[in-house]
Amino acid sequence: MERELYTEDHELYRETVREFLAREVQPHQDRWDSEKRIDRSIFARAAKQGIYALQIGEEHGGAGELDYRYRMIVCEEIARINALSFGLTLALQDDLVLHYLLDLTTDEQKQRWLPQFASGELIGALAMTEPGTGSDLQGIKTTARRDGDEWILNGQKTFISSGIMADLVIVAARTNADAGSRGFSLFAVERDMPGFIRGRQLEKVGLPGQDTAELFFEDVRVPAANLLGTEGHGIQHLMSHLPRERLGVSAMAIATSRAIFEMTRSYCKERRAFGKPIGDFQHVRFELAEMSTEIDIAEAYVDKSVHAYNAGTLTPIDAARGKWYVSELQKRVIDRCVQLHGGYGYMLEYPVAKAYVDTRIQTIYGGTTEIMKEIIGRELMR
């Protein structure tokens, strides 16, 4: 079935993205994974080439391009070369941090941060999760107390993507212990603020090149001018930005599923057993037929979600549906692709093996599958 998501302009952009990745990312991605860090300079080159931060307005150094289909193309091309650590770091910037900076900042804050973000000089992170608090945001224990023209921030965060590299960390903190869900606010903590301490870089199952860290805040004095959005509306701000984050997970999940499936299909044509290609065995053909069908159907839902996002009509419920289903599909498809590769599928020199370990987090971050189902179920029972 022919896909109708893209126009000629999008395909021209794809050529730009593909050429950039071949020149600037593909030669280095194995080294980044082995060194467990991505060269920081790549982000300035990526931003200059228009690989991310397209939505920033021209007045702040961006292109002012709001069409999410360009973001989808970046996901697809990153998946094609299996550069998933790099892809997650871009997703963090484009699908999370940037939209807090676009939607919640004052004119003065925009002027301070957006030009550096547009040039790739400023790398951001979002700090919600704590050692005892994951999906339950109201369990956040990090506090911020007003002191004149400053807030004094204390607490700890964990599992923070790009926590080591980030120059600007958006931190969720409790600002009023008696206000329930209205007792939280967001703060932009900058790299060199006294008392802001980066802990260890965490050892993960997959995505080794993408740094994930613990962060500590010990009497960090954050200027009142670094409050993001409205005081007391932190939970609401976080919730309102989840559809974009979850669409981003769906986009990368379907792109990776498609890319690894196509690699596996080619492998099944070339790998021989009992005197013929393994793709000539009916069971293998059935496996490929099932995966191809599932990917096509899920891709249609993602494409529909992209159109809805562009139109401003993508709901949190529909984003949650895509997030859980497509990420679970990714996990299932890549597991089956490993099986079809046999022993080679367990060797990290093969893209399918790297994708297997990198994929496991997809059903956890951005809201677990269980939380997504709970959100959808509650809506159905309202």
The answer to whether residue 330 scores a pLDDT higher than 80 is yes
Q: Report DSSP state, residue 340.
A: H
Condensed to tens digits (0 to 9), the pLDDT of residues 118-169 reads 999 999 999 999 998 766 777 899 999 999 999 999 999 999 999 999 999 9
The residue whose two tokens read 């991505």 is 38
Give the least confident one: 179-183, 196-200, 363-367: 179-183
Angle between helix axes 8-20 and 68-80 (nearest 10 degrees) is: 40
- For the stretch 198-234, pLDDT in tens is 999 999 999 999 999 999 999 999 999 999 999 999 9
Going by pLDDT thresholds of 50, 70 and 90, the confidence category of residue 180 is confident
Has 58 been annotated as catalytic? no
Enumerate residues 6+ apart whose C-beta is below 8 A from 106.
Answer: none
Q: Which residues of 121-145 are buried (b: 16+ CB within 10 A; e: fewer)?
A: ebbbbbbbbbeebbeebeebebbbe
Q: Exposed, middle or buried: residue 267 (CB in 10 Å: 0-12, 13-18, 19+)?
A: buried
Question: 3-state class of 49 per DSSP?
Answer: helix
The two beta strands, 124-127 and 184-190, are: unpaired
Amino acid at 375: I
Given 77, 245, 287, 299, the catalytic residue: 245
Q: Report the pLDDT value the prediction gives residue 73, as an integer from 0 to 100.
A: 98
**Reduced DSSP (H G I as helix, E B as strand, rest coil) percent helix, strand, coil of the chain, to 5:** 55, 15, 25
pLDDT grade for 286, boundaries at 50, 70 and 90 = very high
The DSSP string of 51-90 is SS-TTS-GGGTS-----HHHHHHHHHHHHHTT-HHHHHHH
Q: Residue 68 to residues 39, 182, 318: CA-CA distances in angstroms?
A: 26, 31, 16
- Token pair for residue 285? 């053909």
List the structure tokens of 374: 């709970």
Q: How many CA atoms lie within 13 A of 327 on its CB side?
A: 26
Q: Tell me the domains of the chain and their CATH numbers.
A: 8-122 (1.10.540.10), 125-237 (2.40.110.10), 241-381 (1.20.140.10)
- Return the closest-CA partner of residue 124 out of 106, 145, 99: 99
Amino acid symbol at 83: A
Structure tokens at 249: 């997970």
Task: Give the per-residue pLDDT at 355.
Answer: 97
Tell me how far apart the alpha carbons of residues 130 and 157 are, in angstroms, rounded to a whole number.
4
Within its chain, how far is the Cα of 358 from the centroid?
Answer: 13
Helix 242-270 vs helix 84-91: crossing angle, to nearest 10: 160
Give residue 132's pLDDT.
80
Residue 191: is its pLDDT beyond 80?
yes
